Amino acid sequence: MIPNQWYVLMESDQVKSWPVGVTRMGEKMVFWRDNAGKVSCLHDQCAHRGVQLSKGKVLPNGRLQCPFHGFEYDVSGRITRIPANGKNTPVPERFRVHSYPTHEAYGFIWVWWGENPPEDLPPPRFFDNIGDGFTYATAYDPWNAHYSRVIENQLDVVHLPFVHYNTIGRGGRTLVDGPLTEWDGDDKFYVYVFNRVDDGTPPRKPEELSSPEREFWLEFIFPNLWQNHISEDVRVVAAFVPVDEEHTLLYLRFYQKFLKVPLVRDVVNRLAMPFNLLVAHQDRRVVVTQQPKPSALRIGEQLIQGDRPIIEYRRRRQELLDAAKQE
| Structural domains of the chain, count | 2
pLDDT in single tens digits along all 327 residues of the chain: 899 999 999 999 999 989 999 999 999 999 999 988 999 999 999 999 999 999 999 999 999 999 999 999 999 999 999 999 998 999 999 999 999 999 999 999 999 998 888 888 999 999 999 988 999 999 999 999 999 999 999 999 999 999 999 999 999 999 999 999 999 999 999 999 999 999 999 999 998 887 766 678 999 999 999 999 999 999 999 999 999 999 999 999 999 999 989 889 999 999 999 999 999 999 999 999 999 999 999 999 999 999 999 999 999 999 999 998 887
Are 141 and 109 found together in one domain? no
Are 188 and 322 found together in one domain? yes
Residue 300, amino acid: G
Q: Pairing relation of β-strands 102-105 and 108-113?
A: antiparallel
Domain end, chosen from 113, 147, 164, is at 113
How far, in Å, CA of 104 to CA of 89, rounded? Answer: 35
Are 170 and 298 found together in one domain? yes
Are 167 and 92 found together in one domain? no
Are 52 and 163 found together in one domain? no
Are 204 and 259 found together in one domain? yes
Residue 272 maps to a domain: yes
Are 145 and 285 found together in one domain? yes
Q: Which residues contact 103 (CB under 8 A, 6 or more apart)?
A: 6, 109, 110, 112, 123, 124
**What is the CATH number for 272?**
3.90.380.10
Crossing angle between the packed helical segments 147-155 and 262-287, to the nearest 10 degrees? 110
pTM of the model: 0.93
How far, in Å, CA of 306 to CA of 226, rounded? Answer: 19
Do you find a cis peptide bond into 92, omega within 30 degrees of 0?
no
Do you find a cis peptide bond into 179, omega within 30 degrees of 0?
yes
List helix spans (H) across the chain: 147-155, 160-163, 262-287, 308-326
Residue 126 maps to a domain: no
**DSSP code, position 271:** H
**What is the CATH number for 70?**
2.102.10.10
Are 272 and 209 found together in one domain? yes
How far, in Å, CA of 203 to CA of 45, rounded? Answer: 55
Q: Which domain holds residue 189?
A: 135-326
Are 299 and 165 found together in one domain? yes
